Amino acid sequence: MANIPSYLSWVPKTGTGNAQIKINSVNPYTGRADRSTKVPGKIVGKSNSVTVTVLEKAADEFITPNGLTINVAKGGETIRVTGKSNSKLLTFTWKTNFGIANVTSFKVNSSTTATSGTAIAGDPGATGEYTYDVIVVVPKNETITARSATLEIKGEGSTVVKTITITQALGDSYLYLNSQGTTTATVTIPKGGGEQTLKILSNDEWTFEPAEVSVTIKAYEIYDDNKLYLAANIKEISSTGTTVGTTRPDEPLVITKNKGSVTTYYALPLSSDWYHIGSEEVVFDTDKTVEILCLRNNNGLIKVRTRDALTGCMITNIIYDETNKKIGTCSSSEDGYVSEANPIGFERNYKTLGDNRYEATEPITFIADEPSEAVVNYIDLHPKEGQDYIALKFIDSVTKAPITTGISC
């Protein structure tokens, strides 16, 4: 039965005696017109013959797109709108559009060129479905909003309609001067004045008065629960980065940046050996003051004790700094000095407040030294006028030098 076309299912194709043959379409028939197929039969080896006419009824007119939505990048793309149909003609019309060219032609079955709104040559849809392929060039989105276009595909019948939605991502903001792509311009005002015009090209809100924020930078240390401000160089991004200025106790550094900027600043005290580097991340959200803590590098030592100014005898007394903070109490014992950790080379002023025996002393400056090299410093105490006073002086029998260590006067 070589005459049976491949689009028909015919089972069985041969037999003997009485039988039933089952006939069907291999795939549903999609042509718009009825399809009639004549299939001859005969007795094997003889002239007896019969003819069977298979009539496949026409399908309704249809359009089936390969997807109803297409997403396009902001930079623009060339896209293809594809699908299947059996319509006599197809009309492509933009119902909404944002600058895409009208569809004037399309491909049928990848080879035949057809015109939108005109009957397709040979009417392939009469005998079966065909593929359609439309090339659409979507331009770059120059706006800052997403946008959509709708393409209507209509067949010969008024109710045979499909709609394709093309959505494009929002574009980038831009700001140009005088011409597209130009970001710098010079405006020359002639002698005596004269208004000049600067052309702005943009797709977004713009301003030539950017919001700026000023931040005051201070460096400080904490001493005896008190905040003491320091002179320090301020660097940005890293401790070895660019120096943006110097902050001082009486003249803090002010930095101005666009609102929303975020930068890390480092404070390097001018007395760099005395302090550790401090840092702080600064958000330029509002005008404000930012203070950067620099911890003392207390690797040095000062040793102090009090002694009688006349005899050199060690005296038990309380030692204070110039702010009247108590540093400690020294004694007359051999190791009865007061010690305080400070940065090497750091100056400290110590004094006594006086008592019923001795006058108060003026502050005396002492300098911190390496702990291994730090020597004991002395504050000489003078007895009060009119105070009964007995001085005992002990002399080394060999050296004839005064003996003061370990003696209480």
Tokens 């718009």 — which residue? 32
* The two domains 212-293 and 300-395 share their CATH topology (first three levels equal): yes
300-395 carries CATH number 2.60.40.10: yes
Cα angle 175, 177, 179 (rounded to 5 degrees) comes to: 105
User: Would you kindly state where each structural domain of the chain is located, as residue ranges?
Assistant: 8-56, 63-168, 212-293, 300-395
CA distance 254 to 265: 12
Closest C-alpha to 116, from 134, 130, 104: 104
pLDDT digits (tens, 9 = 90+) for 170-224: 998 999 999 988 999 999 999 999 999 999 999 888 888 768 899 999 999 987 7
Answer yes or no: are the C-beta atoms of 242 and 309 closer than 8 Å. Answer: no
Residue 367: CA atoms inside 13 Å, Cβ hemisphere, count? 4
Q: 3-class SS at 61?
A: coil
Specify the pLDDT at position 401: 66
Cα angle 57, 59, 61 (rounded to 5 degrees) comes to: 150
Average pLDDT score over the chain: 90
Q: Which two tokens stand for residue 96?
A: 């909404």
Which option is the CATH number for 63-168: 3.40.309.10, 2.60.40.10, 3.90.580.10, 3.40.140.10? 2.60.40.10
Q: How far is CA 203 from CA 32, 100, 145, 173, 401, in A?
A: 51, 19, 10, 6, 94
Q: Which amino acid is at 131?
A: T
pTM exceeds 0.85, yes or no: no
pLDDT digits (tens, 9 = 90+) for 347-387: 899 999 988 889 999 999 999 898 888 899 999 999 888 76
Q: Report the percentage of the chain scoring pLDDT > 70.
A: 94
212-293 carries CATH number 3.90.1150.10: no
Average pLDDT of span 262-273 = 89
Q: Is the pLDDT score of 226 beyond 90? A: no
Average pLDDT of span 71-77 = 94
Q: Which range is least confidently modeled, 108-117, 131-140, 305-314?
A: 305-314
Checking phi first, is residue 117 left (phi over 0); if not, alpha (psi -120 to 50) or beta?
left
